[in-house]
Structure 1
Amino acid sequence: MACVVWHVPVTTTGTGSTAALRLFRMRNGVRCAVGFSSPEALTALLGPDQAYTELGEAALRNLTRPLGVDTLVLDPGLVAPPVTTPAAVGATPGAAPSPAPTAHLQHR
Structure 2
Amino acid sequence: MACVVWHVPVTTTGTGSTAALRLFRMRNGVRCAVGFSSPEALAALLGPDQAYTELGEAALRNLTRPLGVDTLVLDPGLVAPPVTAPAAVGVTPGAAPTPAPAPTARLQHR
Length-normalised TM-score, structure 2: 0.73
Conserved? CA contact 1:61–1:70, under 8 Å: yes
Task: Please report how far the alpha carbon of residue 78 of structure 1 lies from its aligned counterpart in structure 2 after TM superposition.
Answer: 1.4
C-alpha change, 1:67 and 1:3, in structure 2 (3 Å) is: same
Distance in 1 (alpha carbons) for counterparts of 2:101 and 2:89: 12
Moved more, 96-105 or 45-54: 96-105
d(CA) in 1 for partners of 2:109 and 2:8?
A: 60
- How much does 1:82 deviate? 9.6
User: Aligned in 2, Cα 1:88/1:59: closer, same or farther, shift over 3 Å?
Assistant: farther
Q: Quick one: structure 1 residues 20 and 87, their matched pair in 2 at CA, closer, same or farther if it must change by over 3 Å?
A: farther
- Give the unaligned 5+ runs of structure 2: none
Q: Distance in 2 between matches of 1:18 and 1:80?
A: 30
C-alpha separation between the residues in 1 aligned to 2:60 and 2:10? 12
Q: Report if aligned partners of 1:8, 1:36 keep a CA contact under 8 Å in 2.
A: yes
Q: How does 1:82-97 map to 2 (within 5 A)?
A: none
> Aligned residues, how many?
108
Question: Structure 1 residue 80: deviation in Å?
Answer: 3.7
1:12-44, Cα deviation, whole Å (9 max, x unpaired): 000000000000000000000000000000000
Structure 1: runs of 5+ lacking an equivalent: none
Cα distance, 1:52 vs structure 2: 0.1
Q: Spell out structure 1 runs of 4+ moving beyond 2 A.
A: 79-108
Note closer, same or farther for the CA distance 1:89–1:25 as it changes in structure 2 (3 Å cut): farther
